[in-house]
Amino acid sequence: MSDEELNKIRQKRLEELRQQQMQQQQNANYQQQQKQIDQQKDILLRQILSSAARSRLQNLRMSRPEYANGIEMQLIQLFQQGVLQSQMNLPLSDEMFKSILKKSQERNKRDTKIKII
């Protein structure tokens, strides 16, 4: 191999390493942002839900993670809009949280009808 070919290979490898390093940095930044968002959500949920209600939410997250995330986001939005503070005593008790979950399920429930022809 000539020096010119070796230099091209080195330059190519150096560029690949730079790109890898940039991608790792971007991933680290993304993970840090996600961690901060999760911490902020936890702080808000501690204000919104009692410890028993948070425990129920964690159990729900294990079985239905998407549904639990949706409930979290709805609670946080209502809290930030001031709806929860004006209508309910915070933190929400487990019983109150159960009733909210039931209402949410009723809204999302689909009626399945089977017609026999």
| Structure tokens given for 103 | 């209402």
CA 106 – CA 110 distance, rounded (Å): 8
**pTM for the complete prediction?**
0.72
What was the pLDDT predicted at 111? 64
pLDDT over 90 percentage in the chain? 75
- Condensed to tens digits (0 to 9), the pLDDT of residues 10-30 reads 999 999 999 999 999 999 999
Query: CATH assignment of 3-106, given 1.10.600.10, 3.40.50.970, 1.10.8.140, 3.40.190.290?
Result: 1.10.8.140
Helices (H) and strands (E) in the chain, counts: 5, 0
Q: Which two tokens stand for residue 52?
A: 């028993």
Three-state DSSP at 92 gives strand
